[in-house]
Amino acid sequence: MSQEWVLTPIIYVLGVGLYPPITYVLGEWVLIPITYVLGVGPDPIIYVLGEWVLIPITYVLGVGPDPTTYVLGVGPDPYHLCPRRVGPDPITYVLGVGPDPISYVLGVGPDPISYVLGVGLDPISYVLGVGPDPIIYVLGEWVLIPITYVLGVGPDPIIYVLGEWVLIPITYVLGVGPDPTTYVLGVGPDPYHLCPRRARQQRPTMERERVYLPALSRVAVCGGTHGNELSGVHVVRERLKEKQQRVDDDEEEDEDVVSVSNILTNPRAVQQCRRYTETDLNRCFTRATLSSAVSDRTPYEIARSQELNILLGPKGSPQAVDLVCDLHNTTANMGVCVIAYSDTDWICLHIFKYLQHHMSDVPVRYIHFDLPCREAYSLDSLGKHGFALEIGPQPHGVVRSNVYTYMKTGVELMLDWVRLFNSGTVFAGGLVEVYTMVSAIDYPRERQTHNIMAAIHPELQDQDFCLLRPNDPLFETFSGATLRYQGPEPLYAFFINECAYYEKGIALSLARRRSVEVPPVQMKSGLEHPGDPGTSEEEEEED
């Protein structure tokens, strides 16, 4: 990589990345090749790349292999550079910016540049100005950029390899130099907001053609599939009550736009406040179980699954309801999750995007169970489209008002989306993050009794959607020993310590995260009885 040199006054310099550290002297001019940028906060930060440099920093800038593309941070606080000293641990990243959004003004070289950079707990729109063409990045859009350095923020720094492309949602962006797409800066409470790296030959087109899909005229809102997951039970009961109230008050039901059924799917389990009476209803919707012969010795839930198949299906047929939304709770600290079998069902992905946009005070995530249609076993697979709305943490048998409210709001937002969709609204496309389930880990168990011998490690408990790296703590035995994650690749942990999964041999589940490009969608008029959902001919294949 050829290096160009630039003469600049230096206030501080920070070296991070593969290239050697940079020497600078406060107040003097020095020629430096700059290959990286750093994060700065109110606390002084120690950087080491081979050697230790102690410097207080209040902001940072990103630079790539082209040294004319960085901006030095200069702020209200003059810095004192300490003489470098060799320390025990070389550091290859730079840090953290504190909780308060900070404004940075950067000026470099002959063209002073103003940047406004928001950093901190609240995602902020950034304006990047570089050279003669200031660039505005809008929060939430995705940008594909080559990584020229990596910036670690928070307790676990992330190291990126220079030169590979990474697709990231913009929650913070810092661009410097004539080509603003030369680095990525991660700042804020979630430093793992980057997608897995993948090599790219060219920048993909971000414009996708609109996909036309049939209207969703029949929607089912289902609760009590597990009788002790109470938010869903009460949301369905309340919706039935409200519907009855409208009938009593002689109000009109606007069934023109969409017809909604509210169903308690496992009433016996609800009545007993148990997950199930004989077998888990939410595993009874495979084609094999739905078509099995029924006698008076058939478990209640199997008979019930066949009844529901008649009511909402038949599964796979043109008569099936358009959309099933199945309400669930978990004891795991998962926030709001939309769980579906597909990562190309644009209806589910758009509903998820809509919920995420409108539910700003709780994390909303999309979990993809990568199973082919013929193996789908849950209630939501009855509809042409379907998903589970899983909200936690909530103990089974308890209704927590905040969780109930999230669920009620989620259902209302989903139906708002359906009504808008059915009325012809065009929904813009974009990139969404999807967690695809890869595997699960069971508790360590005693050989003879099969009893568990350890609990989820206190550092992992409640940390759903954290990145679990090889050697991270996983379990703590009852005698206090730490058992660590031995998998080969870092994966995102979820369903951490879900009560109902003890009997299924699952202590936690693991997922890979990636972005999926969702095309714009619009209802296809004149097509009320669709063919395959989500795979119309207009759809483009991703590179």
Partner 1 sequence: MSSNNVASFNEARRVAIFGGTHGNEMSGVTLVNLWMMNSREEIQRKGVETQPFITNPKAVEKCSRYVDTDLNRAFTTENLSAPNGKDLPYEVQRAQEINRLFGPKGSSEAYDVIFDLHNTTSNMGCTLILESSKDHFNLQMMNYIKKAIAPDSCPVLLNEDPGLKYATARSVAKHSVGLEVGPQPQGVLRSNIFEAMRIILKHALDFIELFNEGVEFPPCTVDVFKVSERMDYPRDANGNIIAMVHPNLQDCDWEPLTPGDPMFQTFDGKTIPYEGAGAVYPTFINEAAYYEKQQAFVTTRRETLAANAIRKV
Residues near partner 1, by CB under 8 A: 234, 237-238, 241-242, 273-274, 331, 393-402, 404-405, 408, 451-452, 455-458, 461, 476, 478-479, 497, 499-500, 502-503
Indicate the residue among 114 and 409 with the shorter CB distance to partner 1.
409
Calpha distance 402→394 (Å, rounded): 10
Enumerate residues 6+ apart whose C-beta is below 8 A from 428.
520
> Which residue number, 217 or 477, has a Cβ lying nearer to partner 1?
477
Q: How far apart are CA 370 and CA 355, in angstroms?
A: 22
CB atoms within 10 A of CB 42: 14
Residue 440 neighbours by CB under 8 Å, 6+ apart = 495, 501, 505, 506, 507, 508, 509, 510
- Kindly tell me which of 49 and 233 has the beta carbon lying closer to partner 1: 233
- Cβ proximity to partner 1: between 358 and 408 the closer is 408
User: What is the closest distance, in whole angstroms, from the C-beta atom of residue 493 to partner 1 in the complex?
Assistant: 15
Distance CA 367, CA 338 (A): 6
Nearest approach in angstroms of CB 234 to partner 1 is 6
Q: What's the min distance (Å) between Cβ of 420 and partner 1? A: 24
Residue 498 CB, nearest approach to partner 1 (Å): 8
Residue 296 or 503 having the CB closest to partner 1: 503
Measure the CA–CA gap between 463 and 296, rounded to whole angstroms.
45
Min dist. Cβ of residue 491 to partner 1 (A): 21
CB of residue 91 vs partner 1: minimum separation in angstroms?
Answer: 31
DSSP state of 411: H
Orientation of helix 346-358 relative to helix 401-422, angle to 10°: 130
Beta strand 106-108 with 165-169 is unpaired
Contact 149, 160 (CB under 8 A): yes
Helix or strand holding residue 180 (H, E):
none
Helix axes 401-422, 230-248, angle to 10 degrees: 60
What is the closest distance, in whole angstroms, from the C-beta atom of residue 507 to partner 1 in the complex? 10
Closer to partner 1 by Cβ: residue 188 or 232: 232
Residue 255 to residue 249: CA distance in whole angstroms: 17
d(CA 13, CA 81): 9
Shortest distance in whole angstroms from residue 448 CB to partner 1: 10
Residue (66 or 476) nearer to partner 1, CB: 476
Which C-beta is closer to partner 1: that of 331 or that of 422? 331
Tell me the closest approach of the beta carbon of residue 247 to partner 1, in angstroms: 16
Name the residue nearer to partner 1 (CB basis): 331 or 356: 331
* Cβ distance to partner 1 smaller for residue 265 or 306: 265
Kindly state the smallest distance separating residue 246's Cβ from partner 1, in Å.
13
Q: What is the DSSP string of 35-96?
A: -------SS-EEEEESEEEEE--S------SSGGG---B--SS---PPPPB--SS-------
Burial (CB count <10 Å: 0-12, 13-18, 19+), residue 288: exposed
Three-state DSSP at 152 gives coil
